[in-house]
Each structure stands twice: as structure tokens, then as C-alpha cells.
Amino acid sequence: MATTKDKILATALQLFNEQGSEQVSTRHIAEAMGKSVGNLYYHFEDKNAIIIRLYEQLVEKLNVGFDQMQAIDVNLEIMMQAVKFTFSTLYEYRFLMINFVHIMRSIPVLKQSYQALTQVRKAQFRYTFDQLIVQGMVKKEALEVPFEYLQLQSTILGDFWISEAEILYQGEEKDKVKYFTEMQLYNFYPHLTDAGKTVFKNSITSLFDS
């Protein structure tokens, strides 16, 4: 059963996603719930505390998903599923990505947390990348590109596609995550071997079937 704290977070997430966190106050959240602002402050000292907890929720969801996938032997299809999972999960908390710079500047503790998280993700990316080379899915020539650049390119595309979509995407809302997930995956396509490209083509057609 959802607690009051859970309901506050769910309401805040909906309002932040719809209107942007800078436009929504604690009073707006309380009014949407039919509660007093005082009741909200009993659970969260201010709006930043709500944003911090929503960020933590996002990271927790991503970590659980990654842990489950890491329990399976890494392969190209699993990597593609991981990108889909990441983009879908980020979209659930899209206000964080749309207002990313403002939020990180306003809440230094989140900036520090994010910087630490990127180091963990970098290690995960390195491991996956090396495994795909060993499996013959990624060309050895990909090693000629500085790994730092490959990883950073992936991070930038992964973190800021939602901001780009807010401005330039012209398709149906229901297709947004699929469109940008495929964009990220096809960015990796030139580094694949012929065997890797075969697996890629077989997997991408069914990636969003379920």
C-alpha cells in the first residue's frame, strides 16, 4: 500500500514531468493531492528534498535493472536491451533530464552523486565493450578511437536526448523512446563486425515488440 510519502513523490513526478520542476511549487503538489502544505513539509523539508528523492528513485531503478542484466552473460542483444531499459526509465523521470543543468547547479549534492555515478557507468561500459570485442561483435579497430571519447559520446546521447526531443522531435509521443533508443544504438552500429551487424539487425526489429 502506497504511503503518503510515496503519493507525494508520484504526484510531484507527474507535475514535474508535465510542467517542469521550476514551474511547480510545493503548494502546487499539495493542492494536487488535496492536502495542506504543512502535511507535505512533514515528509519533505522543501522541493529540493523531493527532487533529490526522485533522482535517487531513478538511480535505484537503473541499478536494479543493470544488476539483473549483469547476472546474465553479456552479449550484444543484452546490451541493446540495456539501452532500451535505460532510455525507457529515464523517460519516466524526464523532468530531471530536461532541466538537468539547472537542477545540478541548484542542488550540488546531486551533481556530486551524478559525477560519482558516471564513473561506475564508465566501468560498466568498458567491461561490456571489451566483452563484445572478445565475442567478435565489435571490430578491434574500434580500439583505435580513444575509449574516453566513445564512452562520453554514449553518455551525452543518453543523458540529453530528452532535451533534444522536447525541441525537435516531430513524431508521435508513444514512439519517442523507441526513436531515440534506436538513434543511440545505430550510433554504435559502424563499430560492429559483420557478425555483430547480423545480430543487431535481428534484434532491433523485435526490441520493442514486448
Per-residue pLDDT of the chain (210 residues; tens, 9 = 90+): 779 999 999 999 999 999 999 999 999 999 999 999 999 999 999 999 999 999 999 999 999 887 776 667 889 999 999 999 999 999 999 999 999 999 999 999 999 999 999 999 998 899 999 999 999 999 999 999 999 999 999 999 999 999 999 999 999 999 999 999 999 999 999 999 999 999 999 999 999 886
One of 3.40.50.720, 2.60.120.260, 3.40.50.300, 1.10.357.10 is the CATH number of 55-204, namely 1.10.357.10
Name the fold adopted by 1-45. Answer: Arc Repressor Mutant, subunit A (1.10.10)
Closest among 18, 22, 9 to 55, alpha carbons compared: 9
- List where CATH 1.10.10.60 sits in the chain: 1-45
What are the start and end residues of each CATH 1.10.357.10 domain in the chain? Answer: 55-204
Q: How far is CA 133 from CA 76, 139, 140, in A?
A: 10, 6, 6
What pLDDT does residue 191 have?
96
pLDDT at 68: 75
Residue 56 CA to residue 13 CA, distance in Å, equals 13
pTM of the model: 0.92
Output the pLDDT for position 71: 65
> What 8-state DSSP symbol labels residue 192?
B
Helices (H), the chain: 4-19, 26-33, 37-43, 47-70, 76-92, 94-98, 100-106, 108-134, 147-168, 176-188, 194-204
Q: Is there a contact between 93 and 103 (Cβ–Cβ < 8 Å)?
A: no
